[in-house]
Structure 1
Amino acid sequence: MIKLQSEIEGKRAYFGIVKDLFDLNGCSFCSNFDYHQGKFDAVLWREGGETIYLRVPINVLEGALDHSSAYIEFGTPYVIKHVVNIGLDYDEHSLLTGTTGLTQFQEPLDKDGYIRDKSRWELAGEEKINRILNSIDTLLSS
């Protein structure tokens, strides 16, 4: 994981407004959230079973994340690499999964994989965050 220094950390806004801006900038809101915290993700690179993400965590100050009126604060953004098994899952749960559909996805082989050329991905993450910040600033000044 590579933590990024960014002006987005500590900024506050309404969830509905920033969600739309993040969407427009190629980021998605992670469906794995609770009502008090969540994160936005952007894929910076993907090849085979390896994906490098920019991740921007958020905390709710007022309201709940299932409402666009939730007032949020941004945490420290970071770059992370996930490595997943893109083959078939041949463990003791495979037959149960295939017949019942209880498990849709395999766990990543490595949730925080080694990132080569860290300066490249640090720069890519910072550039993406700066584009988002420019969108927020443009919206607030109009």
Structure 2
Amino acid sequence: MIKLQSEIEGKRATFGAIDNILKSHGCSFCSNFDYDQGKFDALLWRDGGESIYLRIPVYVVNGYLDHPNATIEFGTPFVIKHIVNIGLDYDAHSLVTATTGLAQFQEPIDKDGYIDDKNRWVQAANNKLNDILTSISGLVQ
């Protein structure tokens, strides 16, 4: 994980206003969230089972996350690398998963993999963040 310094940290806005703008920049709101915090991910690179993301955490200041009027505050963005097994999953739950479809996705092999060429990904993430900041400038406090 590589923490980034960005002007987005500490900015506040409503979830509804920010959600659509971040989606237009290729960010997805992660479905695994709590009602007081969550994160937006932007894919920077993928090759096979390796992916590098810009992750932007958000924290609820007022209301409940995923409600349009909730006030959120941006946390410290960072770059993270996930490595997943793109083959078959052969753990104890594989047969149950295959027959019932209860688990669509495997857990990453490494949720915080080593990132080669850090300068490249810091620059890519900062470029994305600058584009996002330009788009939300009138909406944040």
Instruction: Report the equivalent of 1:114.
Output: 114
Measured in 1, the distance between the counterparts of 2:139 and 2:94 equals: 50
For the residue of structure 2 that corresponds to 1:122, the secondary structure is helix
Structure 2 length-normalised TM: 0.96
Instruction: Report the equivalent of 2:73.
Output: 73
CA offset digits 1:83-124 (Å, max 9, x no partner): 000000112211111112222211100000000000100011
Structure 1 length-normalised TM: 0.95
Give how far 1:140 is off. Answer: 4.2
* Range with bigger deviation, 76-85 or 63-72: 63-72
Identity of aligned pairs, percent? 69
Give how far 1:17 is off. Answer: 0.4
User: Partner letter of residue 117 of structure 2?
Assistant: D
For the residue of structure 2 that corresponds to 1:114, the secondary structure is coil
After TM superposition, what 4+ stretches of structure 1 lie above 3 angstroms from structure 2? none
Q: Is this contact kept in 1: 2:17–2:139, CA < 8 A?
A: no
Give how far 1:24 is off. Answer: 1.0
5+ residue gaps in structure 2?
none
